[in-house]
Amino acid sequence: MLKKILKWLLGILLIPVLYLLASSILTFIPVNIQKENSEKNESIYLRSNGIHLDLIIPKDQLSPKILDGIEFSEKDQFFSFGWGDKHFYLNTPTWNDLTLRNAFHALFLKDTTLIHITRHLNLQNDWVAIKMDQQELDQINKYIYETFSLDANDRIVLLSGKAYSIYDDFYLANGDLSCFKTCNSWVNEGLKKSGIKACLWTPFDFGLLYFHKE
Sign of CA pseudo-dihedral 26, 191, 113, 117:
positive
Q: Three-class SS of residue 156?
A: strand
Summarised one tens digit per residue, pLDDT across range 107-122 is 555 678 999 999 999 9
Nearest to 173 by CA among 37, 94, 69, 95: 69
pLDDT at residue 17 in the model: 78
Which of 72-76, 84-88, 157-161 is predicted with the least confidence, judged by mean pLDDT? 84-88
At 67, give phi and psi (nearest 5°). -60, -35
pLDDT average, residue stretch 76-102: 79
Summarised one tens digit per residue, pLDDT across range 26-57 is 999 999 986 655 678 899 999 998 889 999 99
Q: Three-class SS of residue 83?
A: strand
Q: Does pLDDT of 182 surpass 90? A: yes
How far out from the chain centre does Cα 83 lie?
A: 5
Name the residue ranges covered by the structural domains of the chain: 2-32+41-213
pLDDT at residue 90 in the model: 87
CA dist 55 and 44 (Å) reads: 7
CA dist 209 and 214 (Å) reads: 9
Nearest to 58 by CA among 138, 147, 144, 120: 120
pLDDT at residue 18 in the model: 84
Q: Three-class SS of residue 132?
A: strand
pLDDT at residue 73 in the model: 95
pLDDT at residue 34 in the model: 67
pLDDT average, residue stretch 116-142: 96
DSSP symbol at 71: -
Percent of the chain with pLDDT over 70: 82
CA distances from 194 to 31, 54, 58, 139 (A): 11, 16, 17, 5
> Mean pLDDT score of the chain, rounded to an integer?
87
pLDDT average, residue stretch 192-204: 95
